[in-house]
Structure 1
Amino acid sequence: MGTVDDLLTDLDPADRVSIARIYDIAREEVPEAEQGLGYGMPALLYRGKPLLSVMRAKKHIGVYPFSPASVTAVADAVGGVPLTSVDKGTIRYQPEEPLPDDIVRALVISRKNEIDG
């Protein structure tokens, strides 16, 4: 797999808009994040560690902050978003019911703080 930009180029337009929005929010919150790979997935890296990956799966879009603790930090808020589910290290949603910006920001900030230690 290539970079985040490569991933976005190859997506269906509706998915591209949804996924790019999350990456854009992450870059606003962590402007020093760089493109790379996290566990083989295109991701944003912060201080050399995976910050966030967003990928299209067959039945959903998955948001991977590489941190069960960061998912737990926003789980209650995510529970109020239709067609969304939370698992140990993943948030799944449908493009027609995107994650609200404030949840994405909280997720990214939680992961950044975890990396900062």
Structure 2
Amino acid sequence: MSARDVDLYLSQFSAEQRAGLDDLRSKLLQLVPAAEEGISYGMPAVIEGGKVLAGYACFKNHLSYFPHSSILITNTLSELGQYKCSKGGLQFGVDQRIPVQLIEKLVAEKRKLIAEKASKG
């Protein structure tokens, strides 16, 4: 899987939906410049060291950001108040944008979880 696969995924959406997805993509790649892009669970993903840091997707009436960790959502719930949260991700309107500071925090927390898991063997 590659950035080309992500481009193909994104090409199926309307300009409005695509704008929201492109915003997420560019913020994630800005925060993780050495990241690889790919498809994980059928959606675009940002991958570092072989581990998925985040995924994002478009649905009929919303966009979603997936940190691929339910504990991460639970631990940051107080900061996610304006977003509808599920066990695995957060949902937001097609015209809404997630602030880069929140994405940065979610990515940092995911990196910590990955490091903790690696240290436990």
In the superposition, the TM-score normalised over structure 1's length comes to 0.83
1:63 Cα deviation from its structure 2 partner = 1.0
* Percent identity of equivalent pairs: 26
Give the greater-gyration-radius structure (CA). Answer: 2
Aligned to 1:111: 110
Across the two proteins, how many residue pairs are aligned to each other? 114
Match of residue 97 from structure 1:
96
Distance 1:17 1:107, change over 3 A: same
Alignment check: 8 A CA contact 1:44 1:50 kept: yes
The one-letter code sitting in structure 2 at the alignment partner of 1:43 is: A
Match of 1:59 among 61, 68, 73: 61
Aligned partner of residue 112 in structure 1, secondary structure: helix
Q: SS at the partner of 2:46?
A: strand
Change (3 A) 1:3 1:74: farther
> 1:112 corresponds to which letter in structure 2?
R
Task: Tell me which residue corresponds to 1:85.
Answer: 84
- Whole-angstrom CA distance in 2 between matches of 1:38 and 1:115: 17
Aligned-residue offset at 1:39 = 2.4
Deviation at 1:10, TM superposition (A): 2.3
Tell me what 2:119 maps to.
none
Residue type at the aligned position of 1:91 = L
CA contact (8 A) 2:20 2:96 kept: no
For 2:54, what is the secondary structure of its paired residue? strand
Unaligned 5+ segments in structure 1 are none
Q: Any stretches of 5+ residues in structure 2 without a counterpart?
A: 117-121
Q: In 1, distance between residues paired with 2:5 and 2:115?
A: 23
Cα contact 1:37–1:45 (8 A) shared by 2: no
Residue 115 of structure 1 deviates from its aligned partner by: 2.1
| CA distance in 1: counterparts of 2:105 and 2:33, whole angstroms | 15
Q: Report the RMSD for the aligned CA atoms in angstroms.
A: 2.0
The answer to whether the Cα contact below 8 Å between 1:34 and 1:44 also exists between their aligned partners in 2 is yes
